[in-house]
Every structure is written in structure tokens, then in C-alpha cells.
Amino acid sequence: MKKIKTRDRILGTSLALFNSLGEPNVTTLLISDELDISPGNLYYHFKSKSDIVDELFQSFEAEMVDLLAVPDDADISLDQFSFFLHLLFEAVARYRFLYQDLVNVLSRYSQLQVRFKRILAKKKNAFRVLCESFQSQGVMTISEDELLSLCEQLTLTACYWSSFDTLSHLDDRESVDPGKGVYQMLHLILPYLAEQEQQEIQLTSRSYL
Amino acid sequence: MKKIKTRDRILGTSLALFNSLGEPNVTTLLISDELDISPGNLYYHFKSKSDIVDELFQSFEAEMVDLLAVPDDADISLDQFSFFLHLLFEAVARYRFLYQDLVNVLSRYSQLQVRFKRILAKKKNAFRVLCESFQSQGVMTISEDELLSLCEQLTLTACYWSSFDTLSHLDDRESVDPGKGVYQMLHLILPYLAEQEQQEIQLTSRSYL
DNA sequence: GTCTATATGAAGATAGAC
DNA sequence: GTCTATCTTCATATAGAC
């Protein structure tokens, strides 16, 4: 029976509450209440609420940097791409409190702005690298203009899909299914794929619904 | 020299502040300060802050209902569609405070949830009707699955483009250019258009950048 | 209609005992 | 490490004079 450190319990509970209620609606009192510890105790471990947000963001950042380190020389298969999308949506969903009130969060924790933008740029770049890999394999045909627009669209969707999906069921905000997001993303690249791959994607993507 | 009623000045200034600073960051004190009136005066005209939000939402709702009343029997040209998108993005931009912190706003003003969802459904339906018009004119070819996915994507983009774009320049939040949003939207339908219309769209859409 | 003054309450944060 | 008690700040909102 391992005892989890209070510090880590605070982080875990904060993340869960942020995600389900929205970060601005979660007070330090609510966090400590949920953990059955005193507010004072919470402030013994973190000198401010923004320190909690900071540390959660750092985990998010680390996960994303790790995930988005896409090799730009290897040939990526569509299966690998789907898997990548799946991991991406799961990571975003795990930290969805950041995206749900993005403008608000970034304006109140302004030190996160630059770092968030950097992740966004990495994301867009990863999509570009992946699409270029598809192109060089002859699986994708697309003009430069359309490629830029597509990558922008993929990035937008990767950010906001889970928030958009949440709108459909604002009541229970606990569960998020990344499946539909992956489905949408695959359908974005679909028109630019070769005949055979289109059929392949249409089959596999359907399983995500 | 027409004198604008204080009540309307409150609405206008609130909207401007909400859009540029984010609704949660705008206090009633800030609004009255900006207007050089006393907080008490503000509360003479609106019994609570949520009444201001409510009334702004009502204007937004009215504009959207008006705009989204797309005739489902007429043939819509691509030019008309572009124009429609332009109006749509302008309307969304004018009330972008709603979208920037959507989850937060809808959770704190829960009476808006149902109404917002209704607008969202209308939006998606409008896109569907428009695409079906394109299909019946022989301008667009698309399968049922793809059409659903496309309409979802158009709706998502119509909601979040301006927030996404804002991320690129979080410093000056006053100006929003709907052009790039329209460009993205046109590129979403592009792959499903007939040869000739593709070229047409590529030309006109470029002018939006 | 508009003001000043003030009540109320909540959230973030600290001090000091155990 | 954890608690209780308390402080500060600030936002919403009201009362009553002009």
C-alpha cells in the first residue's frame, strides 16, 4: 500500500477539478476540500494557485514536446498517423482545462503565453512534416497553398475539437472520447489522399465513431 | 448631436471590454470607470452583471437567427456563400467574448447553454442546406459520411477560428480580420467542388488573405 | 438619472499553534 | 506536514442623498 504524497495528490485533484469545472471556477478551498486537507496545508505545498497551474502546464508541455518530436526523415504510414492522432487527442483531453478557456487562462497566467504558442507551432510543424512524408511516399497529392491551409486546419481542430465536443454534453464533463476527434482529423486529409488510401481511411476511421 | 442613452452606452462599452479583455476579467467597476459613471449608476440601469451579458447575448442571438435563415429551396452561388461566410465571421467577431471562454461563460451563465446550442445546431444545419444546394446544382460531389464530417468541421471552424487566430496576436485584441477565416472555410469545401469551381474559389479565396 | 458610501461575500494567501 | 484562525483584496450589489 503505497502512500501518495500530498503534493502529488494536490496536483492530481486540481487537474481533475480544472478539467471538469473549468480552472476559473475552481478555488483553492475547493481543492483542499476535495482532498480533505486544510487550505493552509495546500499553501504549505504550493505558495499560490498559479504555482499549481504552472506545474500542471509543465507536465503538459513535456508530454507534448515528447509526442510532437516527429522524425522528419522516416516514412510514416497512415496507421502510424492515426495512432499519433489518438495519442495527441488523449494528451489534449487530459489537459483540456487549458483549451476550454484558453484566452482567459493565457491572459491570467501570462507567463504561459509564449510557451503555449511554441507548442502550437510545434504542432503545426509536426502536421506539415507528416503530410510531406505522405507526399514523398506518393500517398498524398496537394498544392502548397492547400497544404498550409490544411495544416492550419489540423492544428485548429487538434486544439478545439474536445471543447467543441464538450458543448454537446455540458452536463457530464468527466468523460471525453478522443475517437470522434481522430475521425474528423482523418477526414480532413482524406480528399488529398490517393484512391486506395482513401478507402483504407474510410474503413479505419469509421471504427472511431 | 444625438445623445446616446446611458443604458446603451453601458451595453456598447461592456461588449468592447468583454471582447478585448475577456468577460471574466471585466468588472462592473471597470465598465463604469470606462464610461465615467458611478458603479451605482450602472446598477440603476442593470440590476446585475449577468443582465448585461444576457442582453448582449440576446442581440447576438437575434443577429444569428437572422443570418442563419438560409432558404432551402433557392440555388446558392459560391459568391453568395463567400458573402454569407463573411457576414457570419463578422457577427462572430463582434461577439467573440462568448467564444473565447466559451465553457467558462456558459457554465457561469447557464441560462445561455440551451440557446447557444440551438444557434450551433442552426449553424450546422445552414451549412448542410448550403452544401446540398451545391450538390443539386452539380457544383459539389460528396458522400453522405463526408458531408456530415464537413458540416461538423465548418461549424467548428466558424466558432473557433477567431479565437484561434487571436492566439497569434494576444497583445492587441481589438482588431479581428475575418478574411483568413473565410479563406479557411472556403478551403474546407474546395476538395469537393467541381474542377471549374475549384479554380474559381482558389482565385477569390486568395483575395481574402 | 446619477452620485457617494457602504454592505456582503468570496477568493487568495499568511501566521502561528500543534 | 497539517491544522485553525485570520487578513487582504476585490467584485457584486444596495441604500439613500442630490
Which pLDDT score, from 0 to 100, does residue A185 have?
Answer: 98
Hey, what CATH class is A1-47 in? mainly alpha
Whether CB of A6 is under 7 Å from strand D: the answer is yes
A-chain CB neighbours of B152 within 8 Å are 184
Nearest Cα neighbor of A134 from A88, A180, A183, A75 is A75
Which pLDDT score, from 0 to 100, does residue B178 have?
Answer: 78
pLDDT tens figures, B90-99: 999 999 999 9
List chain A domain ranges: 1-47, 48-206
CA distance linking residue B79 with residue B77, whole number of Å: 5
**CATH topology for the B49-206 domain:** Tetracycline Repressor; domain 2 (1.10.357)
Phi/psi for B9 (5° steps) reads -65, -40
- Would you say residue B118 has pLDDT above 90? yes
Which pLDDT score, from 0 to 100, does residue B191 have?
Answer: 98
B-chain CB neighbours of A153 within 8 Å are 153, 157, 184, 187-188
Whether CB of B29 is under 7 Å from strand D: the answer is yes
Chain B residues bordering chain A (beta-carbon distance below 8 Å):
21-22, 24-25, 100-104, 106-108, 113, 116-117, 120, 145-146, 149-150, 152-153, 155-157, 159-161, 163-164, 166-168, 170, 183-184, 187-188, 190-192, 202, 206
pLDDT tens figures, A34-52: 999 999 999 999 999 999 9
CA distance linking residue A97 with residue A163, whole number of Å: 9
What's the pTM value of the predicted model, to 2 decimals?
A: 0.96
The C-alpha cell that represents A38 in the structure block: 486544510
Where is mean pLDDT largest: A76-80, A203-207, B178-182? A76-80
Mean pLDDT over all residues of chain B?
94
CA distance linking residue B80 with residue A203, whole number of Å: 35
CB burial of B174-195 (b: ≥16 within 10 Å; e: otherwise) equals: eebebebbbbbbbbbbbbbbee
- Would you say residue A93 has pLDDT above 90? yes
Which pLDDT score, from 0 to 100, does residue B42 have?
Answer: 98
- Would you say residue B168 has pLDDT above 90? no
Give mean pLDDT, residues B185-209: 93
Q: In 10 A of CB B115, how many CB atoms? A: 15
Which pLDDT score, from 0 to 100, does residue B1 have?
Answer: 61
Which residues are A193's β-sheet partners?
A: A140
Give mean pLDDT, residues A166-194: 87
DSSP string, A149-209: HHHHHHHHHHHHHHHHHHGGG-S--S---SHHHHHHHHHHHGGGB-HHHHHHHHHHHHTT-
CA distance linking residue A129 with residue A72, whole number of Å: 6
Q: Characterise A179 by phi-psi region: left (phi > 0), alpha (psi -120 to 50), beta (else).
A: alpha
Q: In 10 A of CB A69, how many CB atoms? A: 10
Q: For residue A135, what pLDDT band results from cuts at 50, 70 and 90?
A: very high
CA distance linking residue A61 with residue A67, whole number of Å: 10
Which pLDDT score, from 0 to 100, does residue B2 have?
Answer: 67
Q: For residue B205, what pLDDT band results from cuts at 50, 70 and 90?
A: confident
Q: How far is CA B193 from CA A191, B70, B142, B185, B187, in A?
A: 11, 20, 9, 13, 10
Mean pLDDT over all residues of chain A?
94
The residue ranking higher by pLDDT, A122 or B177, is A122
Q: Is B191 in contact with A187 (Cβ distance < 8 A)?
A: no
Task: Return the residue matching grid coordinates 432558404.
Answer: B71
- Would you say residue A63 has pLDDT above 70? yes
Give the CATH number of domain A48-206. Answer: 1.10.357.10
Q: Is A78 in contact with A139 (CB distance < 8 Å)?
A: yes
Residue B158 carries which side chain, given as an amino acid letter?
A: A
Q: Is B103 in contact with A106 (Cβ distance < 8 A)?
A: no
Task: Return the residue matching grid coordinates 453568395.
Answer: B80
